[in-house]
Amino acid sequence: MSSRNEFPTHPVPAVGAVVFRDGAVLLVKRGADPNRGLWSFPGGALEIGETVEAAAARETLEETRVDVRPVRVLDVRDFIQLEGRQVRWHYVLIEVLCEYVRGEPFPATDAANARFIPLRELGEYKVAPTALEVLRTALAARIASSETFGP
């Protein structure tokens, strides 16, 4: 998500890709605001004419060089950050559950780092609060439905 969306005149639709592999989740360390320095799902703003699913796959490939296959929309929530009384950031985050296809994470575009982080090690990382909330939702859904979410 780029700074062109800073101080928006309307909410910006954006996606995040929730990707699991072997007991780990794919996260990127944000290299730009908002959330610079925090770990979150690969993602970014939708482009005109682009579907949510296509955006999730594109953003994941651009930020991490990992190929994914979108499965379904998992969660929708707002990210709103104020500066004084003015809205500095307002994203409508559409989190898409994706199946891992291939590739090893390598940070690109605005990602400072990218990796599959074992779920048991998440406490060692400074993960964005919204990403943690979505991850809890994903894991609860995974347990409830016995989904494997990929290899």
Tell me: the pLDDT tens digits for 17-60?
999 999 999 999 998 888 999 999 999 999 999 999 999 999 99
CB-CB contact of 73 with 94 (8 Å): yes
Task: Provide the CATH topology of domain 3-145.
Answer: Nucleoside Triphosphate Pyrophosphohydrolase (3.90.79)
Measured distance CA(95)–CA(114) in Å, rounded: 18
Q: Is the dihedral of CA 139, 143, 145, 146 positive or negative?
A: positive
Q: Does residue 112 sit in helix, strand or coil?
A: strand
Task: Enumerate residue ranges in the chain where pLDDT < 50.
Answer: 1-2
pLDDT of amino acid 2: 41
Q: Which residues contact 120 (CB under 8 A, 6 or more apart)?
A: 23
pLDDT of amino acid 149: 52
pLDDT of amino acid 52: 98
Measured distance CA(70)–CA(59) in Å, rounded: 12
pLDDT of amino acid 69: 98
Measured distance CA(129)–CA(100) in Å, rounded: 23
